Chain A
Amino acid sequence: MTLADSVREPAPDGAETTAPPRDAALPADPPAPGDAAAALVEADLLVEDVSIDGMCGVY
């Protein structure tokens, strides 16, 4: 079974139809405000700087 086959759905009359392309799919549920905030925080934290000055002796 190919990927194209997997998106085909049999019509009630037996004819074969093809599911709409992904671009035409219904939009997903909008993200909750908390999810958006979490994504924003994650995006801003791709880099985190620290200075190790003064850490001598920690180990």
Chain B
Amino acid sequence: MAAHAGTAPSAATTPAFDLDRPLALDGKVALRPEPFGALAYHFGTRRLSFIKTRKLLAVVESLGEHGSGRAACVAAGVTDAELPAYARALATLQASGMIGERGAS
């Protein structure tokens, strides 16, 4: 059984989200770095997400280079204390289609 972020699931965390699965940015998403973090725009759903920290931007940009979302977080410098919040953020991005499991259709 895969470990989750270490906290009880929140409303923003979809049951299907697993931080230990390989994740990737959706191919229809463009990221634009901003002073506060970044804007993510999905050309398919026309949804816009505000990514509010540069660290989360680093996580999202590097998802495809790591074996799991957790590994991407660690590589970007996310601390254990920050990990639950970043897991919720990734769950939110997955729920809105900005990121998804690598290899999933």
Q: Which residues of A are in contact with B by a Cβ distance under 8 Å?
A: 43-53
With the chains together, A51 CA to B45 CA distance in Å?
Answer: 9
Q: Which residues of B are in contact with A by a Cβ distance under 8 Å?
A: 10, 12, 46-53, 56, 82, 84-86, 88-89, 92-93, 96
Ranked 8 nearest A-B pairs via Cβ: A43-B85, A46-B89, A48-B50, A47-B89, A47-B92, A49-B49, A50-B48, A49-B96
Number of residue pairs A-B, CB distance < 8 angstroms: 45
Query: Quick check: B50 and A44 within 8 Å, CB to CB?
Result: no
Query: Quick check: B89 and A51 within 8 Å, CB to CB?
Result: no
Query: Quick check: B51 and A46 within 8 Å, CB to CB?
Result: yes
Using A49-B49, A52-B47, A53-B46 as known contacts, list a sample of 17 further A-B pairs with CB atoms less than 8 Å apart, ordered by residue number in A: A43-B82, A43-B84, A44-B12, A44-B85, A45-B52, A46-B53, A46-B56, A46-B89, A47-B89, A47-B93, A48-B49, A48-B52, A49-B50, A49-B92, A50-B47, A50-B50, A51-B47
